[in-house]
Amino acid sequence: MIARANLVLPGPRLVPGSDRLPVLLSVPHSGRDYPDWLLRLSRKGRDGLRLFEDPLVDRLVWRAQALGIGAVIAQAPRAAIDCNRAEDELDPAVISLPPGMAHDGWRVRAGLGLIPGRAPQAGELWRRRIGPAELEARLSSAWRPYHLLVASELERLKRRHGEVLLLDCHSMPWRAGQAEVVIGDRHGTTASRFVTDLVRRTAEEDGYRTAINDPYAGGNVVASHGVPESGIHAVQLELDRRCYLDPGNQEPGPAFDRAARLIERIASTVGAALLDRQAPPLAAE
């Protein structure tokens, strides 16, 4: 058994912003720092684990960052621990759990819990189940720091501006009939309708086919941090990988910069609109 001290994952990276706009980017699924101990535990090696990545989304947000918008970016790979799952989405096929601790949600049953267990293209991921100490090492080194950083940055922006947007950036595989951009607000619970509609309108003005909450309504990141009634709006943005990657789904494609501009436009448009909502009305003549 590997010592617990050697089981830590890389923590998240904060890209500071200028704070000019009340927007924070979240990129939880693009981590590709695979420790040797994780690869030894994998049945399929690095290639099998990379199936869980949202490829290059951390690079896709560069235009929004250049605009002065901050970002929290996971360095740990999603296959090791998924920051877009709740801490209790525990799969007993992956983790040795005491009786009663297993979670029976549909994502866990599909092998997509806090630590993914299998992929349709790769089958079972791990050579053995991990123990509670190994789980805790992953939570304390990568998962909790990610959410603490998102929460602290949102609170800081909210104190400055009154309202703030968390734009949680993801990518999705192509499926026939599926929109190119799927906007998730957990069915209106993590962002106001005003914000969600503005995100959709901005994407459609850029020529993208959109859907709201279908088939992705948003995961743990927006569910944990979006509190629109308190001025924190959280929207999950899913972008079809064919809209920015090459056919191999690992390198930038010809439309990469168009997709980067979309994220920049959404962030700047919604950020400016939230600032306008906070501006005091002009006095009457």
**Which is more confidently placed, 104 or 153?**
153
pLDDT of residue 1: 45
Instruction: Answer whether residue 102 shows pLDDT above 70.
Output: no
Over range 226-239, report the average pLDDT.
Answer: 98
Report pLDDT digits (tens) over 2-51.
445 578 999 999 999 999 999 999 999 999 999 999 999 999 899 999 99
**Helices 256-278, 144-161: crossing angle, 10 deg rounding:** 50
Confidence of residue 57 (pLDDT cuts 50, 70, 90): very high
Over range 260-280, report the average pLDDT.
Answer: 94
Over range 199-213, report the average pLDDT.
Answer: 98
Confidence of residue 283 (pLDDT cuts 50, 70, 90): very low
Q: Give the whole-angstrom CA distance, residue 217 versus residue 236.
A: 8
pLDDT of residue 202: 98
pTM metric for this prediction: 0.94
Q: Of the CATH numbers 3.40.630.40, 3.30.565.10, 3.40.50.300, 3.40.50.720, which one belongs to the domain with range 4-87+138-278?
A: 3.40.630.40
Report pLDDT digits (tens) over 151-174.
999 999 999 999 999 999 999 999
What are the residues facing 252 on neighbouring strands?
245
Report pLDDT digits (tens) over 65-84.
999 999 999 999 999 999 99
Report pLDDT digits (tens) over 110-158.
889 999 999 877 789 999 999 999 999 999 999 999 999 999 999 999 9
Mean pLDDT of the chain: 94
pLDDT of residue 281: 57
Q: Give, in order, the Cα–Cα distances in Å from 140 to each of 5, 136, 164, 176, 245.
A: 11, 6, 27, 39, 33
Long-range contacts, stretch 149-157, CB < 8 angstroms, 24+ apart: 149/12, 149/14, 149/72, 150/24, 150/26, 150/72, 150/221, 150/225, 151/225, 153/14, 153/24, 153/70, 153/72, 154/24, 154/225, 154/232, 157/19, 157/22, 157/23, 157/24
Question: Could you state, in order of their start, the residue ranges of all structural domains in the chain?
Answer: 4-87+138-278
pLDDT of residue 99: 75
pLDDT of residue 6: 77
What are the residues facing 13 on neighbouring strands?
73
Q: Give the whole-angstrom CA distance, residue 53 versus residue 1.
A: 27
Q: Give the whole-angstrom CA distance, residue 91 versus residue 111.
A: 7
193 contacts 133 by C-beta, under 8 angstroms = no
pLDDT of residue 171: 98
Instruction: Answer whether residue 195 shows pLDDT above 50.
Output: yes
**Which is more confidently placed, 202 or 101?**
202
Report pLDDT digits (tens) over 234-260.
999 999 999 999 998 889 999 999 999
- Distance in Å from the first CA to the final CA of the chain: 76
**Which is more confidently placed, 277 or 28?**
28
**CA-closest candidate to residue 222, choices 210, 232, 235, 206:** 235
